[in-house]
Structure 1
Amino acid sequence: MTEKERELLELLEKSGRMSEDKIAMMLDVTVEDVTSMIQKLEKERVIIGYSTIIDWSKVNTSESVTAMIDVKVTPKRGVGFDEVAERIYRFKEVKALYLMSGTYDLSVVIEGKSMSEIARFVSDKLSTLDSVISTTTHFQLKKYKHDGIVFEDRDEDHRIVVSP
């Protein structure tokens, strides 16, 4: 990977909506070079997709519930954790799945319409998988920061400065 490609990735990671013209200017290359680099990186699946971060708590629709589920599993000979991870990430409720170090093996992030919907997912789908030994579910109460973006609008500090 070239240095320009690395710089391009850093720019896109900060703002996926940046125009190719602006990127070309910032990297000191032509627009055609930027287009070519992006196509190459997409083809190689270095760039997997583009997403927008939305603060759903500010949208006047029914909010969803997000849960992080720690899962202890028995890895299978020859495939390790990959086989059970693939079975888990195929569920439509699963938004993210990570192999972890520590007490639990997998961390699953899921979204549902209610806590009871998430409970049904855990009891009916996740816990019934052969390799799953145990689960611990944590419900997200408030999102402060996600992917480097702070969600809370903080006003200026209005405290009075006290000095000796």
Structure 2
Amino acid sequence: MESKAIDILHIIEENGRVSIPTLAKMVDASEEEVKGLLKKLEDDHIILSYSAVIDWSKVDQNEGVTAMIDVKVTPQRGVGFDQVAERIYRFPEVKALYLMSGAYDLSVVIEGKTMSEIARFVSEKLSTVDSVLSTTTHFQLKKYKHDGVVFGEGEEDRRIVVAP
């Protein structure tokens, strides 16, 4: 892959809203060349989507609950973990799924409205998937940083200073 394409990937990974003219100046290319590279990267499924990082805790009645679930599975002969991973990532609640090294095989990130909704997902959907041996659920309590973006940065600390 040519270096301009790699430079473009780094730039849009940091800011997916950068304009074509700005992007062209940043990589020293014409706007047409940048448009062509972006189209090729999208067609080759290297660029999969453009997304925003949102601090849902600042949006009334939309905060929800995020859970990370460690899943121990039995790999399938000939396909390893891929087949069971595909069954899991097809659930609409699943926002991310990773094959991991260590004590657990898969790490599943899900979002729901309540802890009860996540508990139902684990007990009624995830644990019933063939090959799932065990799960451990961790609830996210506070988000400090996500995709390189720091949450709450620049906000004034309102705690009272207590000194001896």
TM-score (norm. length: structure 1): 0.93
Distance in 2, matches of 1:32 and 1:140, equals: 43
- Which residue of 2 is the match for residue 42 of structure 1? 42
- Which residue of 2 is the match for residue 116 of structure 1? 116
Q: The residue matched to 1:109 in structure 2 has which SS?
A: strand
Task: Output the amino acid matched with 1:48.
Answer: L
Distance in 2, matches of 1:154 and 1:63, equals: 21
Distance in 2, matches of 1:88 and 1:48, equals: 20
Please show how residues 43-122 of structure 1 align to structure 2 within 5 Å.
43-122=43-122
- Go from structure 1 to structure 2 and tell me whether the alpha carbon gap of 1:92 and 1:11 turns closer, same or farther (over 3 Å shift): same
- Which residue of 2 is the match for residue 151 of structure 1? 151
Distance in 2, matches of 1:108 and 1:26, equals: 37
Q: The residue matched to 1:46 in structure 2 has which SS?
A: coil
1:65-113 Cα deviation digits (max 9, x unpaired) = 0000000000000000000000000000000000000000000000011
Structure 1 residue 156: deviation in Å? 7.9
1:25-81 Cα deviation digits (max 9, x unpaired) = 111110000000000000000100100000000111232100000000000000000
1:135 equivalenced with 2:135 (yes/no): yes
Moved over 6 A (4+): none
Identity %: 67
- Which residue of 2 is the match for residue 3 of structure 1? 3
8 Å contact kept, 2:56–2:62: no
8 Å contact kept, 2:127–2:135: yes
Q: CA RMSD in A?
A: 1.2
Task: Output the amino acid matched with 2:15.
Answer: S
Structure 2 spans left out of the alignment, 5+ residues: 158-164
Higher mean C-alpha displacement, 105-114 vs 145-154: 145-154
Structure 1 residue 153: deviation in Å? 2.3
Distance in 2, matches of 1:113 and 1:32, equals: 44
TM-score (norm. length: structure 2): 0.93
8 Å contact kept, 2:94–2:111: yes
Structure 1 residue 152: deviation in Å? 1.7
Instruction: Count matched residues.
Output: 157
- Which residue of 2 is the match for residue 162 of structure 1? none
